[in-house]
Structure 1
Amino acid sequence: MLSTVEMSRLTMAGSSDNLDEALRLCANLGNVHIKPYSGSTDGISVGTPHPDADDVSTLLAKVRSVNSVLRCSNKEGPMSSKKVKDAISGKFPAKVDSITEVIAKKSDAEAEISKLTERVAILTTIAPLNLPVELMTEIASVDVYLGETSKASKATQVFGELSSRVEMHVAENVIAVACQGKDAAEVQMALGELGAKSIQIPSGKGKPSKLLEQASKDIDILEKTVADCDSEMQTWSQSNGRMLMAVQEHLERESEILTGHTLCATSAHAFALEAWLPTSEADKARSVFSKVSSHLTIEAFVDDHHGHGHDDEHGHETEYPPIEYDTLAATRHASLLTNLVGRPKYGTIDPTSIIAFTFPIFYGLILGDAGYGLVIMLLALFLKSKIGHDPVGATASRILMNMGIATFIVGVLTAEAFGFVIEKWDAFVWLYEPMYSGTKYALQDTVFIEWFGLSHTYLPFHRAGGALQDYILLSIYVGCAHLLVGFIIGFINVFKAHGIVPAFFEKGSWLMILIGGSGHILRFITDSSYDTFEGSMWSYTVIAGVVCLIIGLAVYEGFGWLGGLIMGPIETFGLLANTLSYLRIMAVGVAGVKIAEIGNEMGFHGMADSISSGDYIFAIALFFLWIGVQVFALALGLLSPSIHAIRLHFVEWMGKFHDGSGEEFKPLGGRSLHVEGH
Structure 2
Amino acid sequence: MITKMKKLTFLVYHKEYELFLQKIRELGVVHIVEKQLGEMDDDLQQFIQKRVLYKNMLQNMYAWADKQPDETIYAEQSADVLTKEYEELQVRIQDLNQQLPAISKDIAQMEMWGDFDWQSVQRLEKAGLYVRFYTCPEKEFDEVWVKEHNAIIINEQGGVIFFMTVTSQAVELERESLRLPSLSLSELRQKQAKTEEMLVQAKDALKAFCKKNYRTLEKCSIQLEGDIDLLKVKRNSREMAEGVVVLLEGWIPEDNQHEVQTLLDNSSVYYEIRPATREDNAPIKLKNNAFTRMYEVLTKMYGMPDYAEFDPTPLVAPFFSLFFAFCMGDAGYGLALILLGFFLKKKMPESMRGMMNLVITLGVFTSVIGTILGTFFGVNLFDLELPDQLKQFMIVGKIGETTYDKQMLLALIIGVVHICIAMLVKAIGQTVRFGFKESLSAWGWLLLVVGFIATGGLSFFKVISEDVSTWAFIVIGGISAIGIYLLNNIHRNIFVNIGAGVWDTYNMATGLMGDVLSYIRLYALGLAGAMLGGVFNQLAFMVNDAAGPVLGWIFCGVILIFGHTLNIAMSCLSAFVHPLRLTFVEYFKNSGYNGKGEAYKPFATVKK
With structure 1 as the length reference, what TM-score do the two structures score? 0.70
Q: Distance in 2 between matches of 1:567 and 1:55?
A: 51
1:26 equivalent in alignment to 2:24: yes
Cα deviations by residue, 1:621-658 (Å, 9 ceiling, x for unpaired): 66655444323311211111111111111111122221
- Provide the secondary structure at the position in 1 that maps to 2:350: coil
What is the CA distance between 1:32 and its match in structure 2?
0.9
What is residue 262 of structure 1 aligned with on the other side? Answer: 235
SS in structure 2 of the partner of residue 549 of structure 1: helix
Partner residue in 1 for 2:513: 576
Q: Using the alignment, how far apart are the partners of 1:550 and 1:154 within structure 2?
A: 92
Note the residue ranges of structure 1 that are not aligned, 5 or more in a row.
73-83, 158-163, 189-200, 304-317, 441-457
Which residue type is aligned with residue 510 of structure 1?
Answer: W
Give the corresponding residue for 1:122.
105
DSSP-derived class of the 2:295 partner: helix
Distance across 2 between alignment mates of 1:334 and 1:557 = 41
Task: Say whether 1:67 aligns with 2:80.
Answer: no
Q: 1:13 aligns with which of 11, 20, 33?
A: 11
Provide the C-alpha distance between the structure 2 equivalents of 1:235 and 1:535, rounded to a whole number of angstroms: 81
Mapped partners of 1:61, 1:479: distance in 2: 44
The secondary structure found in structure 2 opposite 1:14 is strand
Partner of 2:574: 640
CA shift for structure 1 position 524: 8.2
Is 1:215–2:192 an aligned residue pair? Answer: yes
Report the secondary structure of 1:10's partner residue.
strand
User: What is the SS of the residue equivalent to 2:229?
Assistant: helix
Structure 2: state its 5+ residue gaps. 64-70, 126-131, 142-147, 165-171
Question: Does the 8 Å contact 1:22/1:289 carry over to 2?
Answer: no
Residue 333 of structure 2 aligns with which residue? 372
**Contact map agreement 1:33 1:276 (CA 8 A) in 2:** yes
> Which whole-Å CA distance do the structure 1 matches of 2:250 and 2:510 have between them?
45
Counterpart contact for 2:29–2:603, Cα < 8 Å: yes
Query: Aligned to 1:502, what secondary structure does the other structure show?
Result: helix
Kept in 2, the 8 Å contact 1:21–1:292? The answer is no
Q: Give per-residue Cα distances to partners, 1:406-430, cap 9 Å, x unaligned.
A: 21222334443221235676xxx6x
In 1, the alpha carbon distance for the partners of 2:180 and 2:235 equals 54
Amino acid at match of 1:265: R
2:328–2:571 Cα contact (<8 Å) kept = yes
- Mapped to 1, the partners of 2:604 and 2:425 lie a distance apart of 35
- The counterpart of 2:540, out of the listed 604, 613, 626, is 604
1:230 has 2:207 as partner:
yes
Q: Is the 2:412–2:517 contact (alpha carbons within 8 Å) kept by the matching residues of 1?
A: yes
Cα distance change of structure 1 residues 519 and 423 upon mapping to structure 2, 3 Å threshold: closer
- Secondary structure of 2:595 counterpart: coil
Question: Residues 255-283 of structure 1: CA distance to partner in whole angstroms, max 9, x if unpaired?
Answer: 42355211111243221111111233334
2:414 corresponds in structure 1 to 478
1-structure distance, mates of 2:601, 2:432: 26
User: 1:229 offset after TM fit, Å?
Assistant: 3.8
- Cα shift at 1:571: 2.0
> CA 1:592 to 1:39, structure 2 compared with 1: closer, same or farther past 3 Å?
closer
Cα distance change on mapping 1:348 and 1:172 into 2, 3 Å:
same
Q: Structure 1 residue 92: deviation in Å?
A: 2.3
Change (3 A) 1:205 1:18: same
Residues 128 and 620 of structure 1, relative CA distance in 2, 3 Å threshold: farther
Map of 1:103-182 to 2, 5 A cutoff? 103-104=86-87, 106-123=89-106, 125-130=108-113, 156=140, 171-172=157-158
User: Percent identity over the alignment?
Assistant: 18
Report whether the alignment pairs 1:358 with 2:341: no
| 2:308 aligned residue (339, 347, 353) | 347
Give the superposed CA RMSD. Answer: 4.8
Q: How does 1:250-399 map to 2 (within 5 A)?
A: 251-257=224-230, 259-266=232-239, 267-290=242-265, 292=267, 295-303=270-278, 318-390=279-351, 393-399=352-358
- Count of aligned positions: 566
Q: Relative to 1, partners in 2 of residues 1:511 and 1:112: Cα closer, same or farther, differing over 3 Å?
A: same
Whole-Å separation in 2 of the counterparts to 1:664 and 1:473: 39
Note the C-alpha offset of 1:361. 2.1
Specify the SS of the correspondent of 2:405.
helix
| TM-score when normalising by structure 2 | 0.77
- Give a deviation string over 1:522-542, Cα, whole Å, max 9, x none: 468767x999xx945247635
**Is 1:206 aligned with 2:206?**
no
Instruction: Find the aligned partners of 2:535 and 2:62 in 1 and give their Cα distance.
Output: 44
SS in 1 for 2:249: strand
* Cα deviation, residue 472, structure 1: 1.8
User: Are residues 277 and 366 of structure 1, via their aligned partners in 2, closer, same or farther at CA, if it must alter by over 3 Å?
Assistant: same
- Which residue of structure 1 lines up, in the alignment, with residue 128 of structure 2? none
Taking a change above 3 Å as real, the CA distance of residues 295 and 590 of structure 1, as seen in their structure-2 partners, is: same
Q: Would the alpha carbon gap of residues 297 and 510 (structure 1) be closer, same or farther in structure 2, given more than 3 Å must change?
A: same
Change (3 A) 1:397 1:244: farther
Counterpart CA distance in 2 for 1:649 and 1:146 is 73
